[in-house]
């Protein structure tokens, strides 16, 4: 991996949400050549993230944000300077709180 900064996309709510975010990043990048695009590190990990619907229905205490937070901690050492999380406020806010505890 190059030393160029990149955006990390940490998915888990389904591959199409991840792809939609990645597509939007590329569509809004002013690039003339392929090399002009922002580097993106996309970690879907959908199969490892606990079920959001089960969590939202309060049938489990296993918050998908916990696993997403672990992945974010791991990828920050790979040149990731910004994180894209295609999740709603409940998960997003939990991730932000988790990361405050570890200084990411």
pLDDT tens, residue order, the chain (104 aa): 456 778 988 876 677 888 898 999 999 999 999 989 989 988 877 777 888 889 889 899 888 888 888 888 888 878 888 888 877 888 889 999 988 876 66
Domain ranges (residues) in the chain: 6-100
How much is the pLDDT for 103? 67
Domain 6-100 belongs to what topology?
Rossmann fold (3.40.50)
User: Helix H segments across 1-104?
Assistant: 15-27, 52-56, 64-75, 89-100
> What is the pLDDT at residue 79?
80
d(CA 16, CA 48): 16
Q: What is the pTM of this model?
A: 0.73
Q: What's the pLDDT score for residue 25?
A: 92
User: What pLDDT sits at residue 33?
Assistant: 93
């Amino acid at each position: 991996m190059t030393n160029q900064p990149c955006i990390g996309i940490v998915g888990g709510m389904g591959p199409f949400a991840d792809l939609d975010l990645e597509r939007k990043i590329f569509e809004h990048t002013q690039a003339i050549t392929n090399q002009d695009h922002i580097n993106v590190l996309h970690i879907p990990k959908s199969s490892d993230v606990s079920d959001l619907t089960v969590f939202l229905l309060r049938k489990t205490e296993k918050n998908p944000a916990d696993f997403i937070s672990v992945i974010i901690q791991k990828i920050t050492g790979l040149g990731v300077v910004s994180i894209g999380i295609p999740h709603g406020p409940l998960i997003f806010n939990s991730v932000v709180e988790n990361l405050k505890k570890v200084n990411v």
